[in-house]
Amino acid sequence: MQQLESLLAFDRQHIWHPYTSMIDPLPVYPVKSAKGVFIELADGQKLVDGMSSWWCAIHGYNHPQLNAAIEKQLKDFSHVMFGGLTHRPAIELCQELVRMTPAGFEKVFLCDSGSVSVEVAIKMAFQYWISLGNRDKKRLMTIRKGYHGDTFGAMSVCDPVGGMHHIFEAVLPQHIFLPEPISSFSEGLHPTDEAQLEQAFARHHQEVAAFILEPIVQGAGGMRVYAPAFLRKVKTLCEAYDVLLILDEIATGFGRTGELFGANHANVQADIMCLGKALTGGMMTMAATLCTDQVAMTISRGPTGVFMHGPTFMANALACSVSLASLQLLDSYGWKEKVGRIEKGLEQGLRPLLQHDRVKEVRVLGAIGVVECHQSIQVAAIQKYFIKHGVWIRPFRNLIYIMPPFIIEEAELNLLCQVMAGGLEEEAHFVKEK
């Protein structure tokens, strides 16, 4: 068996981790096991996970019910092509998704990942208008500070300046970006936001196929929280100007914001919705794009007669089985109470940090806690500090944030908040101002 040092040397030399350089890669920490809210490193150190593995492991790790769902399905088959075949795990999962999502979503397209679900949603929107004989609607409209994934269609609607994909501007489709909302969650629609939305729709509606955005919480584009009234205004204008509404619930779905879906804060019904991340409880990659009957039937009556998409691993039986088990688990244990308890703990633990001179803003909603700093963060340095103090948190840009598993206990949540506070004290954790 290879020694750990040899494996790590190979990792540094040959494995490209997400958003890292191969010249000067960030350090990586080898994982031995994970259970509950703890990640155990190869050296035996246990870390309280504040990230839910990029927001998907809402039930924690190694959950016996999720493990059992995969093991049971594995005895029958792991995967068959979904072209011309179907199976019980896919059918039962789609039944559950239609049941639990907002009324109106009647058709389900199963995907491989969140980025692919956004690609599917975008393709649905364009094919909808093509099917109606309208080829003028070939652009999308969205807001700045958004993030929708790393594939090309998804990148084209991510923030074009401060996002992670600005270097591709010259090769991406050019869409229409409105300023990010200034309407805060606790207040109504700001007049500036309202005016900008109305002007944009009036000017561009004839060329816009769909408006896409993350409902209430913008994720990796800046972890910003905005007013439900803003989302309601977008919906009203979409209806008035005949524009489809796509809601990217990949990060906000399945209880993370304190509502089952982010759109529920605004009581808004979209035409197309993207789901992913927590869908499988973090066990496997899986996503879904849901749409209304109107969208599906219009596409199906179009010139091709079919929707032009079909991933090889669509409706993977193992992923469908564990997704269904994850949704049943979510229903069974009072997720709303758990998320409400986390929100209270985050308010108590993080809100006082507003007094710190490094802190620009603190944002809390549901099981999301964000500390926005005035300076950018030295990720390698601050992660070393976090690990030393027994937590796993991965900041980006000037944001230190946590989105812990729903099963986290008070003591573990308190530790995450305390270590976040401690990390603010070290000068080496921040980029020096020029």
Q: For the chain, give every domain's residue range.
A: 87-332
Q: What is the mean pLDDT of residues 273-295?
A: 98
- The question of whether 277 is a catalytic residue gets the answer yes
* pLDDT of res. 2: 77
Exposed/middle/buried for residue 85 (C-beta within 10 Å: 0-12, 13-18, 19+): exposed
Confidence of residue 255 (pLDDT cuts 50, 70, 90): very high
Q: Given this model, what pLDDT does residue 162 score?
A: 66
Tell me: the pLDDT tens digits for 129-176?
A: 999 999 999 999 999 999 999 999 999 999 987 655 678 888 998 999
Q: How far apart are alpha carbons 168 and 158 in whole angstroms?
A: 11
| 277, 338, 385, 401: the active-site residue | 277
* Arithmetic mean of pLDDT, 183-203: 96
Whole-structure pTM over 0.75, yes or no? yes
Instruction: Report residue 429's pLDDT band, with 50, 70 and 90 as the boundaries.
Output: very high
Q: Which residue has the higher pLDDT, 354 or 170?
A: 354
Is 19 one of the catalytic residues?
yes
Reported as type and span, the H/E element at residue 228 is helix 228-241
Q: What integer pLDDT is reported at residue 83 of this predicted model? A: 95
Annotated catalytic, 248?
A: yes
Contact residues for 294 (Cβ-Cβ < 8 A; gap 6+): 271
Out of 49, 112, 248, 271, pick the active-site residue.
248
Task: Give the pLDDT confidence score for residue 164 in this predicted structure.
Answer: 59
Helices marked H in 21-143 — which ranges? 52-55, 64-74, 88-100, 114-131
Q: Average pLDDT for residues 103-109, to the nearest whole number?
A: 96
Residue 16 has pLDDT above 90, yes or no: yes
Return the CATH number of 87-332, one of 3.40.50.300, 3.30.365.10, 3.40.190.10, 3.40.640.10.
Answer: 3.40.640.10
- Catalytic option among 49, 61, 145, 147: 147
- The pLDDT assigned to 433 comes to 72
Instruction: Return the pLDDT at 37.
Output: 98
Average pLDDT, the chain: 96
The model's pLDDT over 77-93, given as tens digits with 9 standing for 90+, comes to 999 999 999 999 999 99
Per annotation, catalytic residue among 19, 242, 331, 388 = 19
Residue with tokens 């913008």: 218
Tell me: pLDDT of 58 over 70.
Answer: yes
User: What confidence tens digit (pLDDT) does each residue in 42-54 have?
Assistant: 999 999 999 999 9
What secondary structure does DSSP assign to 122-189, as a single string? HHHHHHHHHHTT--S--EEEEETT----SSHHHHTTS-TTTSS-GGGGGGS---EEEPPP---TTS--
Contact predicate 402/255, CB 8 Å:
no
Q: What is d(CA 387, CA 389) in angstroms, rounded to the nearest whole number?
A: 5
Of 195, 261, 273, 260, nearest to 230 by C-alpha is: 195
d(CA 297, CA 315): 21
Phi, psi at 380, each rounded to 5°: -60, -40
